């Protein structure tokens, strides 16, 4: 990968492929945000995830790992190193590998399955 646009293009489909199950709040170059269709405990829509391009990295937010930390139990050391906070992963062209994208993809699927099981999505 050569630049952050390439990183965004690689990560965007991990959330976008679930658009029919979720609500797309924003889908613009450098900014994809999706929410659940069902309302959360507070009565408002819940953020499911986001991919955003920043000045020096692309952040991938996945709220399911914040609300359901058990999803992180089998996380590889490589993906764990990309974590910033409890539900965000940061990537650059140098740190984005096919293996990490594949693992993150499986994590998104597991997170959506968990939300569905909890009747949140």
pLDDT score for 52: 98
Domain ranges of the chain: 4-117
Instruction: Give the pLDDT score at 57.
Output: 98
Tally the residues of the chain: 121
Distance between CA atoms of 105 and 91, rounded to whole angstroms? 14
pLDDT of res. 76: 97
CA angle 30-72-41, nearest 5°?
75
pLDDT of residue 111: 96
Question: Do 104 and 10 meet the contact criterion of CB atoms below 8 Å apart?
Answer: no
Is residue 52 exposed (0-12), middle (13-18) or buried (19+ Cβ within 10 Å)? middle
Name the pTM for this structure: 0.93
Whether the Cβ atoms of residue 110 and residue 121 lie closer than 8 Å to each other: no
The answer to whether residues 52 and 31 touch, using CB atoms and an 8 Å cutoff, is: yes
- What pLDDT score does 40 carry? 74
Mean pLDDT in consecutive groups of 10 residues from the start of the chain, 121 residues: 94 95 94 90 88 98 94 96 94 97 98 91 80
Q: What is the DSSP letter of 44?
A: S
4-117: CATH topology: 3.90.1150
């Amino acid at each position: 990968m050569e630049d952050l646009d390439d990183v965004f293009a690689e990560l965007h489909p991990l959330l976008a492929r679930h658009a029919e199950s979720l609500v797309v709040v924003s889908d613009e170059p450098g900014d994809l945000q999706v929410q659940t269709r069902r309302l959360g405990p507070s009565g408002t829509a819940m953020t499911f995830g986001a991919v955003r391009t920043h000045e020096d990295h692309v952040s991938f937010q996945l709220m399911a790992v914040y609300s359901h930390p058990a999803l992180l139990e089998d996380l590889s050391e490589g993906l764990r190193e990309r974590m910033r906070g409890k539900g965000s992963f940061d990537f650059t062209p140098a740190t984005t590998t096919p293996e990490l994208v594949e693992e993150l993809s499986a994590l998104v699927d597991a997170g959506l399955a968990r939300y569905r099981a909890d009747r949140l999505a």
